[in-house]
Amino acid sequence: MMRLPQFHYYRPRDVDEAAQILAGEDDAMVVAGGTDLLPNMKRRQQTPRTLVALRHIDSLKKLTNGAGLTIGAGVTLTSLEQNKTVKSAYAGLWQAAAQVATPHLRNMGTLGGNICLDTRCNYYDQNHEWRKAIDFCMKKDGDICWVSTGSKKCLATSSTDTAPALIALRAEVELVSAAGRRTLPLQHLYQDDGIHYLTRRREEILTNIILPQAGATRSTYWKLRRRGSFDFPVLSVAAALEFDEHDVIADARVVLGAVASQPVVCAAVNEQLRGKGLTDEVIEDMAAACAKAAKPVKNTDFAPHWRKRAVAHVTRCALRELRGDDMRETRKKLARQSLI
């Protein structure tokens, strides 16, 4: 039986209390659903001395409709999946949430947890004994990156499903610490470094995810993985497009997941899409541009060159779906489920 190491456990009842505990502890981590942290602890990838549980904080479990939608970081992925507003107004987020891991893990895992998901690498996501056999890597206990032995930085892959969808939807996140609170675009929560992949400070708690009013924005999320369940993405494409009354794109956001240490916002693509209609030709150009932006490395399932090739196909699927093409059969084949 894989066992947890020892830890101190705090069960704060509100965010302030949690923030204070974090401020006073050097080696503490917050834990919500536990589906990312606890396996990592069992494999000794992460070994915090102190765990601060967020699951008992009711304010983090709220979904609030206002000008947009404010989602508490402690809302489970299943709750998101079952929320009618999310499904109708933020389809991309819904599709992303519904494809995380497995139904059981979605019952446990939270949106905040998925956003902060530890970057993944198949030299890193291994038991301590295995990592000892390769003499560890720079992300934990070692000093080399085995993915690219010349690399100065860790190349672990951002594997969150919900973040690309949320970034495409222009989500902001709220961070709270004992010192105060700040809000920033979700995109800015990330940086392209497998170890320091979050700009969140250690003592900060992700409390809310704030989505602007959906308005006329249509969104979608396409995920590639070997199996229709369990697996993390080896590539994902999130897109949110706002069309004017003439079916011309007024605003565009295409975000790639699992091709770098952070979600990749295809800024050039977004620029190019604005003011255009989604003709086949435009879609082809965008698919090629996205493939160019993707830089997958050899640390997930599937070969990097194949993942890069697949970007064009998946981007095309995403944009065609937003155009209104019937993509149900293709979706079923790629996702192994209908997602309707």
Partner 1 sequence: MNRVTTLKRSTQENAHISCRVNGEPVQVSVAPCKTLLEMLREDLRLTGTKHGCELGECGACAVLVDGDPILSCLSLALDAEGCAIDTIEGMAQDGQLHPLQAAFADLGGAQCGYCTPAILLTAKALLDRQPNPGRDRIREALSGNLCRCTGYQQIFEAVEEAILRLRRTEQGTDLKSVPVGARHNP
Partner 2 sequence: MSNTDTFSIIGKPRRRVDGADKVTGRTCFADDIILPRMLHCKLLRSHVPHARIRSVDVSRAERHPGVNLVLTGRDFPNEYGILPVSQDEQPLCRDKVRFVGDPVAAVVARDEFAAEEALDLIKVEYEPLGTISDPVDALNNPAARLHDYSEEGNIHKRLSYEFGDVEESLADSAHVFEDVFFFEGNTHLPLEQHAAVGMQEADGRITLWSSTQCPHYVHRAVAKALDIPMAHIRVIASPNGGGFGGKTDPFNHEIVVVKAAQMLGRPVKCCLNREEVFYCHRGRHPVLMKFRTGVDENGALTGMHLQTLLDGGAYGSYGVASTFYTAVLQPVTYHLPRYAFDACRMFTNKPPCGPKRGHGTVQPRFGQEVQLDKIAAKLDMDPAVLRLNIVEKPGALTANYLKIGSIGLAQCINTVTERCGWKDRYGKLPEGKGMGLACSSYLTGAGNSIYWNAMPHSGVQLKLDRSGKVTVFCGATEIGQGSDDVLVATIAEILGIDPLDIRCVTGDTDLTPVDLGSYSSRVTLMMGNAAIQAAERARGMIAQAVAEKFATDTGSIAFSNGRVFEIGQPEHVLSFRKALVCAEEMHGSLGTTGSYTPPDPPGKYKGGGVGPSPAYSYTAAVVEVDVDTETGWLTVPRVYIAHDLGRAMNPVLARGQVEGSVYMGLGEALMEESAFRRLPARLSNALVHREPSMLEYKSPTSCDMPEVITDMIEHPDDNGPFGAKEAGQGPLLPVMPALANAVYDAVGVRIDEVPITAEKILQALDDKARGGAGRVGPDSFPDIEWPEPFRVPPPWEGGDGNAVNKPARKRAAKMHEMDKFKKVDAS
The residues that touch partner 1, with contacts defined as CB under 8 A, are 1-13, 17, 21, 33-35, 38-39, 42-43, 53, 55, 78, 101-105, 107-108, 228-230, 337-338
User: Nearest CA to 20 among 177, 174, 175?
Assistant: 177
- By the rule CB under 8 A, 308 interacts with partner 2: no
- Closest CB 43 distance from partner 1, rounded Å: 7
Least separation in angstroms between residue 233's CB and partner 1 is 16
Give, for 155, the enclosing helix (H) or strand (E).
none
Which of 78, 83, 114, 126 touches partner 2 (CB under 8 A)? 126
Pick 188 or 305: Cβ nearer partner 2: 305
CA–CA separation, 332 and 88 (whole Å): 20
Nearer to partner 1, 25 or 172 (CB): 25
Among 228, 275, 277, 324, binds partner 2 (CB under 8 A): 228
Query: With respect to partner 2, which residue has the nearer C-beta, 125 or 174?
Result: 125
CA separation for the pair 60, 74 (Å, rounded) = 5
Residue 340 binds partner 2 (CB under 8 A)? no
CB of 13 or CB of 196, closer to partner 1: 13
The yes or no reply on residue 67 touching partner 2 (CB under 8 A) is no
Spacing of C-alpha 294 from chain mean position: 16
Residues 143 and 152 sit within 8 Å (Cβ to Cβ): no
Q: Is 130 within 8 Å of 194 (Cβ atoms)?
A: no
Which position has the token pair 């066992």? Answer: 3
Q: Which is nearer to partner 2, 270 or 300 (CB)?
A: 300
Residue 132 or residue 196: which is nearer to partner 2 going by CB? 132
The distance of closest approach from Cβ of residue 245 to partner 2 in the complex, given in angstroms and rounded to an integer, is 34
Stretch that binds partner 2, among 22-30, 54-62, 229-237, 276-284 (CB under 8 A): 229-237
Dist. CA 246–CA 244, nearest whole Å: 5
Determine contact, residues 115/173, Cβ cutoff 8 Å. Answer: yes
Question: In this complex, which beta carbon is closest to partner 2, that of residue 94 or of residue 136?
Answer: 136
Please give the size of the binding site for partner 2, defined by CB under 8 A.
35
Q: What is the per-residue binding string for partner 2 in 267-306, x denoting contact by CB under 8 A?
A: ----------------------------------xxx--x
Kindly state the smallest distance separating residue 20's Cβ from partner 1, in Å. 9
CA distance 305 to 302: 9
Residue 180: both structure tokens together: 């105060």
Residues 102, 107, 109, 114, Cα dihedral to 10°: 60
- Paired with 224 in beta bridges are 235
Phi/psi at 239 (nearest 5 deg)?
-140, 140
Residue 143 CB coordination number (10 Å): 8
Site for partner 2 in 133-192 (CB under 8 A): 133-135, 144, 146, 149
Contact partner, 303, from partner 2, partner 1, none, Cβ < 5-8 Å per class: partner 2
Q: Is-contact 318 239, C-beta < 8 A?
A: yes
Terminal Cα-to-Cα distance of the chain (whole angstroms): 38
Nearer to partner 1, 61 or 323 (CB): 61
Minimum gap (Å) between residue 11 Cβ and partner 1 = 5
**For 250-282, b where at least 16 C-beta lie within 10 A, e where not — what string?**
bbbbbbbbbbbbbbbbbeebbebbeebebeeeb
| Residues near partner 2, by CB under 8 A | 1-3, 102, 122, 125-127, 129-130, 132-135, 144, 146, 149, 226-231, 301-303, 306, 309-310, 312-313, 333-334, 336-337
